[in-house]
Amino acid sequence: MNADIKNAATIFARAGYAMNDNFMAYGLLGYTWAKGTVGVPGLGSESRDLSGGTIGLGAEYKLNSNWSTYGEYTYTDFGTVKDTDGLLKTTLGQAKLGINYRF
């Protein structure tokens, strides 16, 4: 049995500590909703709605007054997928790198 996550949306709150004027470390806590496909190889698959709590850690570095860059890791535990008799638990780990521009 396996699950493929097709689409995901997360809402979260982020809180951090500014180490200096340019660097901030932070944690985040939120909730994620996703569409998944659950299947057994050779027997077909079905779509499922998945949801679960999300936690993460990250850091942001201010390059100048408008630009910053960040990296973070988030982990979501969707728990046991419905109608799998407890046989399938789904989790999602994401590593992100990005650039922010502030107006």
Within 10 Å of residue 50's Cβ, how many Cβ atoms?
21
Give the C-alpha separation, 46 to 63, whole Å: 46
Domain extent listing, the chain: 2-101
- Annotation: CATH topology of 2-101: Porin (2.40.160)
pTM above 0.75, yes or no: yes
Residue 14 burial (CB < 10 Å; 0-12/13-18/19+)?
middle
What letter would DSSP give residue 1? -
Residue 75 sits at the vertex; the CA angle it makes with 1 and 85, to the nearest 5 degrees, is: 30
Tokens of 59: 């850091």
User: What are the pLDDT tens digits along the chain (103 aa)?
Assistant: 777 888 999 999 999 999 999 999 999 999 999 998 887 777 788 888 899 999 999 999 999 999 999 999 999 999 988 777 777 888 999 999 999 999 9
